[in-house]
Chain A
Amino acid sequence: MSQGAQDGKFFSRGKLQEIREDLHKALTKGDKKWDKRKTILKRVLANMTMGNDMASLWGDIMECLNTPVFEVKKMIYLYVMNYARIKADQIDPAIRSLLQDANDRNPLLRALAIRTLAYIPLPIAMESLCDPLRHSLRESDPYVRKTAAICVAKMYMFDHRMCEREGLVNSLRAQMMDENVTVVANAMAALSEIQERGDTQLIKLNASTALKLTVALNESSEWGQIYILEALMNFVPQRPDDALALGKKLSIRLQNTNSAIVLTTIKVLLYLMNYMNDRDEIEELCHKMGPPLVTLLSSGPEVQYVALRNILLIIQRRPTILRNDVRVFFTKYNDPIYVKLAKLEIMYRLATENNYKEVLVELGQSAAEADVDFARKAVRSIGRLAIKVPNSSDRCIGLLLELIKSDASYVVQEAAVVIKDIFRRYPSEYESVIPQLCAKLDLITEDPESKAAIIWILGQYADRIDNSHELLDDLAYTFLEETKEVQFALLTAVVKLFIRKPQEAQGLVAKVLQVATEEVDNPDLRDRGYMYWRLLSSHASAAKDIVLVNMPPISTDTDRMERGALDQLLLHTASLGSIYHKNPEGFIRTARPKYLADSPALNSTSRAVLVRAPDLNAPTQLPAPASILPTTPSGIRELAGSPLLGDIGEDEGAPAPMSMGQLVDDGDGEDDPSAGITGNGAAAERTSSQYDPYAELGAVLGAADGDDTDSARRREESEPLF
């Protein structure tokens, strides 16, 4: 069509004076076919795009407003939208022209006029918009009506009082019944947004209106379908049959090529399932979801990523979906890293007694990949798999030993961490591998978590490792330079060593206790040191029972997200929240929490775990950081996907909306030094959940860890950027 356009030449800095003179010439000396104006305006827009200030041309450009050409008008209006705020005092001619166009015979121009006027963030523009907008909402042309619907939302965002006072929200509600589906869809979109900002429930649906909307879906454009599907989330079924009938009608939407329609349909279906009671029917619907979800994996990588992160949530709530499809999540060599990481998590989750062999081969491949982060997570997944699927543990250990032969330090480090967990899960089964791991000790440097893990192994199995005292002695040499996590591990390991091999360790334990109590600044570490010191000096026999107590086994039960929290999170399917596995109010300032609504139809399992809206009248209590620490051994939680999983759990206990401040608290809680205590049962396993291998996934700044969230927030507040 217009391959011939050569507007690229305008992308060079234009001198204001020059442009102004050219414009004057065009205005005074005739402008055949308006070509000169077009050229000049293009130059202005190109400069505006590049960030050069063109505001001082305002007056001159206003003189072109009467040009009766669509293209010129569109360019001028674009300019107006851009500089209206700065030129608020000279806005009148632009508004006059827009109001005139809003009465034009041409519907496209009428729509352009109100659309543009509503983009001008000035009270005078909004005031003059009221009348034409009210008229447009009811006029004969559907194109203008659908544009007007969105304009109401624009005005509401600017001044919600005026919008309500002028009765525009009510007119918009009337549009829900419009004969034209595009108008209905846009009205739904606008109302949903207004509802999200305001306090009133604007979209009220009963079983029959909801079904009527499904008919509108048939005729709607693809985007319109999404707006209508989103609006259907406002329908709270009162009878299980209503939920089922609607679900069945909607399930055909899964056959659309637009991934957003597929995922939004799944969101509505998963929501409705909470109100269904026929298990077979629910299964039937679940079955329909599987294939379209797999098909999303043949979209572009960005959509694949969105789909994968959602799949990870969906299969936790509805495990039958994709149960037999683990192969489709095998990574391709050329998948982008974010797709690979997301697939890895799903592979682990879909691994069972039946397919673990294939999965292990895949994980082995992944562990050999060049991307360090990915390889680390693959190694970690192998360890998790050993714990999740008991039959697989022999092979997992074998594979881990194979992998550490590569001598890649990060592989050895991760392997140390997971082997420690495997020891905990299957005590005394794999101790024969200790020598092989110890042989790689020199590769475990820097990374504190793996260092702490290997130290734990050395302490725990001190009597079975011939030179354990020498190795620990070496490690303790740099005690003061270590992170507190490693220091805690060392302290405990040395005490264990002393109890097991009193002769060899006497000197070492004295040295470490002395350093820990005298030279360390961290009060917790000092306290721990004193505690051991007194224990060993006053009750040496009791010390053995306390320090070498049998530890409760760990499991992967805590991998799974709480059912109620999942139900809540799934209300955000397809959205950012579902990608970060985090309720949006936790990371978006304006977002409001959503809750599954109670109704007579809500099935008993969903009701049992219902996450309720907080009672605003009740005094809100911030949970103390300590309460975030699980009271039972948490075992392995990493693969549950989000480092903020803890928050979601916490959110359940005290469902006050999360604030950023609380997130930061959580981060501190995770760093709680008591987490480093090993050999003391309860808190021992925190070490394994401290480092979340998926923390950086999605490069979510907020999700990475508490500190980052905090700094991101600070950055945001200090810069006037946003």
Chain B
Amino acid sequence: MISGFFIFNQKGEVLISRLYRTDLKRSVADVFRVQVVSNTDVRSPIITLGSTSFFHVRVANVYVLAVTKCNTNAALVFEFIYRFISIAKSYFGKLDEEAVKNNFVMIYELIDEILDFGYPQNSEIETLKHYITSESVRSETALRDDSKIAAQTTGSTSWRRTGIRYKKNEAFVDVVEVVHLLMSASGTVLRADVTGQVLMRAYLTGMPECKFGLNDKVVLQNARRAEGETYEAGTVELEDAQFHQCVRLNMFDTDRSITFIPPDGEFELMRYRAESSVHLPLRIQPIVTEVGKTHVDYTIAVKANFNTKLSATEVVIRIPTPLNTTQVDCKSPAGKAKYVPAENLIRWQIPRIQGGSEVTLSATASLTQTTDRKPWQRPPIDVDFQVLMFTASGLLVRYLKVYEKSGYNSVKWVRYLTKANGSYQIRF
């Protein structure tokens, strides 16, 4: 298991250092500094030297590091680091050098609680927040609460405490989809899939039983469908679905129902993946021609392929240019297009594209003479965007039912968002 936990800044200075086992010395930090922080070509998130393994994740300007001396479960170590990062973000608003330094005492307190002898312990944010707080002047009256907390962190619904009260019972559901596209130069879709998340913010009194329904036909391979079989219109086929630990997986296994007692506040209820009939919101048609050795001509057409009532926002299209580009002349009727020499690309930013509309950029890049014999690699065009109230998979929330023994009424809201973030790539 984990023998030591560290946080470093970019200079390799130790911001947090906690050893859980005597098989490690503090000076192990020096090894990490040499091997990773001051190494410009780190080619793995795990480095093993002798029997010592370093697992690191970089966030903003800090490195979060776990060190082990045994054949540790590597997935567990990284999941733990990810969890630590999300806890820190939730507590401090962000995780960077400043936040770590300003809250180092609390970080020590947290990692003493969520990691015991290197074994991750209950790390539910909502639960932790009830007993690891900055204003921890504790009096005798807190004692009864402490017993309750102790019971909760070990209980069967460790993610929710009892006695939660809200005047207004509300639940917000956000369906967030990330579209991945890889399109070949000839315009065929090499890969298109959606990874979705159902995020929930539950502000509900007591111990509510929730039941959640989608317009899905979860294929999940165990109900393997016969070749060519189709489903009723309006349903979506999911390749896979994974759930927060509050969801009763045995119920899901028997009748596909998603039932749970939610944690209080914000959490990720479900993660899913869809591959069939992915609806690509933006269609990009690039025509890029190299004119001799002096120019490259670009015509990039973008078509918004969705309902005219919706629109894509924060569209950023990055169009690579050859390394020996001197200047680029851009003409676009919509948005701003600008050559960014440092990144070797044209950055075309369009604040809003209405559904059904089409915009085109034409540009010419001028090249200098070069002695480099290597042809231009042509990295893919990359598109970022967001479309609100649209799901690329077609997934919809059918219902969210809330039952609580006091029988209150609750208000439920649902929102959809489809986005691409470095994952929508078109080769040309």
Contacts and interface: CB of A to CB of B under 8 A. Distances in A.
B45 A301 contact: yes
Contacts of B131: 108
A150 B191 contact: no
A202 interface: no
A70 to B, nearest CB: 5
Nearest to B47: A699
B417 interface: no
A575 B44 contact: no
B182 interface: yes
Contacts of A408: 374
A183 interface: yes
A226 B76 contact: yes
Contacts of B119: 150, 186, 189, 223, 227
A511 interface: no
A287 B92 contact: no
Contact of A338 (B23, B44, B109): B44
Given A574-B74, A588-B70, A295 B242 contact: yes
Contact of A108 (B13, B55, B73, B150): B150
A143 B101 contact: no
Contact of A51 (B26, B122, B241): B26
A107 B131 CA distance: 12
B74 A576 contact: yes
A32 to B, nearest CB: 11
A622 interface: no
B425 A333 contact: yes
A298 B273 contact: yes
Contact of B427 (A145, A365, A369): A365
B102 to A, nearest CB: 4
B121 interface: yes
A549 interface: no
B69 interface: yes
Nearest to B108: A78
A300 B222 contact: no
B373 interface: yes
Interface residues of A, number: 140
Given A5-B103, A51-B26, A591-B71, A221 B45 contact: no
Contacts of A180: 154-155
Interface in B373-428: 373-375, 377, 379-380, 382, 422-423, 425, 427
A78 B112 contact: yes
B252 A252 contact: yes
Given A144-B150, A257-B242, A722-B28, A712 B45 contact: no
A143 B151 contact: yes
Contacts of B1: 189, 193
Interface in A122-167: 141-147, 150, 153-154, 157-158
Interface string B144-187: 00110111011110100000000000000000001010101000
B291 interface: no
A337 B101 CA distance: 31
Interface in A327-358: 327-328, 330, 332-334, 336-338, 358
Contacts of B257: none
Given A49-B17, A147-B116, A587 B48 contact: yes
A18 B89 CA distance: 34
Interface string B208-219: 000000000000
Contacts of A50: 13-14
A154 B116 CA distance: 10
Nearest to A109: B146
A66 interface: no
A1 B250 CA distance: 36
Given A1-B133, A45-B105, A252-B253, A701 B48 contact: yes
B24 interface: yes
Contacts of A696: 43
User: Among B71, B73, B221, B253, which residue has the most Cβ atoms of chain A within 10 A?
Assistant: B71
A145 B53 CA distance: 31
Interface string A179-198: 01111001001000100100
Given A288-B221, A328-B191, A712-B49, A5 B143 contact: no
Interface in A87-135: 105-109, 111, 115, 118-119, 121
A696 B193 CA distance: 32
Contacts of A121: 22
A253 interface: yes
Nearest to B133: A1
Contacts of A6: 102
A423 to B, nearest CB: 27
A362 B425 CA distance: 14
A266 B17 CA distance: 33
A613 to B, nearest CB: 17
A288 B224 CA distance: 9
A531 interface: no
The 7 closest A-B pairs by CB, nearest first: A143-B150, A291-B240, A584-B71, A8-B101, A716-B50, A2-B134, A219-B156
13 contacts: A111-B150, A255-B241, A257-B244, A287-B224, A303-B79, A305-B46, A332-B423, A406-B373, A575-B71, A576-B48, A699-B43, A716-B50, A722-B23
Given A328-B191, A584-B71, 12 more contacts: A5-B134, A7-B103, A225-B245, A254-B242, A303-B75, A306-B74, A332-B182, A574-B75, A575-B73, A700-B44, A702-B50, A713-B50
